[in-house]
Structure 1
Amino acid sequence: MNKKLVPIFLLLTYLLFPDQAQAQDISAPKYSNEFLNIGVGARALGMGSVQSAIVRDATAGFWNPAGLVGLPKRHNAAYMHSELFAGIIKNDYGSYATNLDSTSALAFSVIRVGVDDIADTRRLQNEYGAIQYDSIEFFSVADYAFLASYARQSNLIKGLTLGANAKIIYRNVGKFANAWGFGIDAGAQLRRGNWQFGLMAKDITTTFTAWRLNPDELEDTYLKDQESFNANSIEVTLPRLILGAGRSFQFANRFSALVATDLEITTDGKRNTLLSTGVVSVDPRVGVELGYANSVFLRGGFNNVQQIEDLDGKSSWKVQPNFGIGVATRGLQLDLALSKVSDNSQVSSVIVSLAYSFD
């Protein structure tokens, strides 16, 4: 964490979470709040999550709030559902965005990623060793994010829009633990003719998430293993930057193309990315969208460039391909994306999203 931010962070911690602050267990794990990096919207995910420079719909509240200036209609709503790991994890997203006037816009978004109906069998046997099926309880493990976004057109530079997010995070592990967090994102977009440029800065103040464990539910488990545990802790999510650029093309009046790229720069140490150091890692993405009469769209993209080691110990570079299609008519848009496609072409993630815009 930037040394200049440490006093501010500690002050907020003591003011807002005095119990957690007294525990003095603060860490910055590499993948803190990683559920916020899965992505939203079938259009975006079908293009390999390339959106920072080109997004202009209700999902801009997530990808880059500056893109809210440019919404197609006054009222814009979007919903997405996807399932990961053969349906075990449910990923849902909803947003509403509106133009306040010709130069500003506002949006609200909700994200939920969770696993439901997990069986708690700790009390399956009673003190006599008999099985009691009615003692089985079920719980959910879910992560929530609530985003409020605002965007405004710059009065100084033509084509420049600026935006920001305030986000509240809630994470729940049944009755065993829960956490609250708060963070701020900021973004910018610049449009010059057919060119579009974007900058998204996530967790610019470092996002902290304060965990509170339930000792009554967990203490027996730890004592059996002769381990001690801290009932309170704080995770810190370090900033990341996304730089993007895109260009649109028009052919024969009815055909169009959009080519875009993003560079995601993380600051939490070395990751398995194309470019990485002990301090930062850079993950490139490329996306393409082909359109006909602004009604039918075909999309594709590549992301997650990683070095994978096979069973023989040989390493090779792999990329994740993504595909998508979309249909739009009278303000209604339906998108479908196939993501996380493996080498043997088995699809492991299907994303469906629906958007509607009206005046």
Structure 2
Amino acid sequence: MKRFLLGLILLSNVVLGQTVVNYSNEFMNIGVDAAAFGMSNAVVASTSDVNSGYWNPAGLINLEDNQLALMHANYFANIAQYDYAAFAMPIDEDSAWGISLIRFGVDDILNTTQLIDAGGVINFDNVSLFSAADYGVTFSYARNLKIPGFSWGANAKVIRRVIGDFAKSWGVGFDLGFQFKRSNWEYGIMLRDITTTYNTWQIDEDALQTSNPNIPEQRLPETMEITKPKMQLGIARNFTFHYDYTLRAELDLNMRFAETNDIFSTSAVSFTPAVGLEFGYTDLVFVRAGVGNFQNTPGIDGSDETSFQPNLGVGFKYKGIQIDYSLTDLGDQSAAIYSNVFSIKIDWTLFR
């Protein structure tokens, strides 16, 4: 029943209204890499590995060798599956490229459109299963600028969304990122969907019709979703204590050019901060913590309450293999719906 209801919610996002704005393609905003989740996704300024293709493509310029990353997470009490894979490699001393794939899907949803036959008889043999899945493929390129410490990167994204045989869509979007590093300070800017990302849906009305003529037919128009641009600003500082101990701290501002429930919101722009900390020992063991996603949510008495999303994580790195884990709160500190996120990163230096 949970899978069936969630499938209806996903489908309603497509068929209600001619155009949906602001919150389309939200699966591309969840994030990747358990290490980043542990820091509440506050990594725009400091990201410097294969996962930079998602967080800030300018960070790919820091790659010294090929890298591969994999991640898996279960959301909504294991109903939804979230998977990610990425590969990146340096081209030369001043450029690098990468590719990544994201899938967010709910499988084995009950299709009950043929449950009641033309005679009004319930036949469970006519119930089938379908999947509602979103796919995002990102191609990344990064290059150093002539100014020392400056780098830039760009993403080209192809979005594919499928809801069984009922609805399908394609979308294309572009991102642009910058980084600047000076001494122990790092700065980052990430512009997502800079050209506005459009998803055009094709609805199969025949697939949605029931076998019972007494049930009204649904006339569903083709729809278009528009993803408005977003911007992330970040500043990070690295500390070293007694050679073996390190601390990385970053503060990010996540901005949307629309009115939302973010803690700071106007009709033109809304933003919420995120803070992340990573404590490391001899570049071997890492402990992470972060807080972000500050939102104004309506309380029971009608007043606004401030919610936030805490995160914790640990990591272990040995030679060219890094394994990370994070415990992520998808809602807020009061509604504890936590997810376990695991990721692994392999550096080609392992084979040298």
Q: TM-score when scaled to structure 2?
A: 0.89
Instruction: Give the Cα–Cα distance (whole angstroms) in 2 for the partners of residues 103 and 31 of structure 1.
Output: 36
- Partner amino acid, structure 2, of 1:292: Y
Instruction: Give the Cα–Cα distance (whole angstroms) in 1 for the partners of residues 102 and 242 of structure 2.
Output: 40
Instruction: Give the Cα–Cα distance (whole angstroms) in 2 for the partners of residues 118 and 310 of structure 1.
Output: 33
Cα distance, 1:223–1:34 mapped onto 2, change above 3 Å: farther
Q: Gaps (5+ residues) in structure 1?
A: 1-24
- Partner amino acid, structure 2, of 1:320: Q
* 1:220 positional shift: 5.7
Q: Are 1:337 and 2:326 an aligned pair?
A: yes
Q: Are 1:252 and 2:242 an aligned pair?
A: yes
- Partner amino acid, structure 1, of 2:95: S
The aligned runs of 1:73-152 (5 Å cut-off) are 73-152=64-143
Instruction: Give the Cα–Cα distance (whole angstroms) in 1 for the partners of residues 320 and 189 of structure 2.
Output: 28
Cα distance, 1:242–1:357 mapped onto 2, change above 3 Å: same
Instruction: Give the Cα–Cα distance (whole angstroms) in 2 for the partners of residues 316 and 353 of structure 1.
Output: 33
Is the contact made by 1:288 and 1:300 (CA closer than 8 Å) also made in structure 2? yes
Instruction: Give the Cα–Cα distance (whole angstroms) in 2 for the partners of residues 282 and 223 of structure 1.
Output: 49
Q: TM-score when scaled to structure 1?
A: 0.88
Match of 1:315 in 2: 304
- Partner amino acid, structure 1, of 2:300: L
| Matching residue within 12, 33, 40 for 2:32 | 40
Instruction: Give the Cα–Cα distance (whole angstroms) in 2 for the partners of residues 31 and 162 of structure 1.
Output: 27
* 1:181-222: CA deviation from partner (whole Å, max 9, x where unpaired): 001101010000000000000011111111000021235699
% same residue = 39
* 1:323 positional shift: 0.5
Is the contact made by 1:338 and 1:347 (CA closer than 8 Å) also made in structure 2? no
- Partner amino acid, structure 1, of 2:277: V
The aligned runs of 1:88-237 (5 Å cut-off) are 88-155=79-146, 157-218=147-208, 224-225=215-216, 228-230=219-221, 232-237=222-227
Instruction: Give the Cα–Cα distance (whole angstroms) in 1 for the partners of residues 50 and 28 of structure 2.
Output: 17
| Matching residue within 69, 78, 85 for 2:61 | 69
| Matching residue within 45, 52, 55 for 1:53 | 45
Name the Cα RMSD after superposition.
Answer: 2.0
| Matching residue within 260, 285, 294 for 1:305 | 294
Instruction: Give the Cα–Cα distance (whole angstroms) in 1 for the partners of residues 132 and 87 of structure 2.
Output: 26
Give the stretch that moved more between structures: 175-184 or 270-279.
270-279
Is the contact made by 2:209 and 2:217 (CA closer than 8 Å) also made in structure 1? no
Cα distance, 1:314–1:233 mapped onto 2, change above 3 Å: closer
Give the stretch that moved more between structures: 305-314 or 89-98.
305-314
Q: What is the number of equivalent residue pairs in this alignment? A: 331
* 1:63 positional shift: 0.5
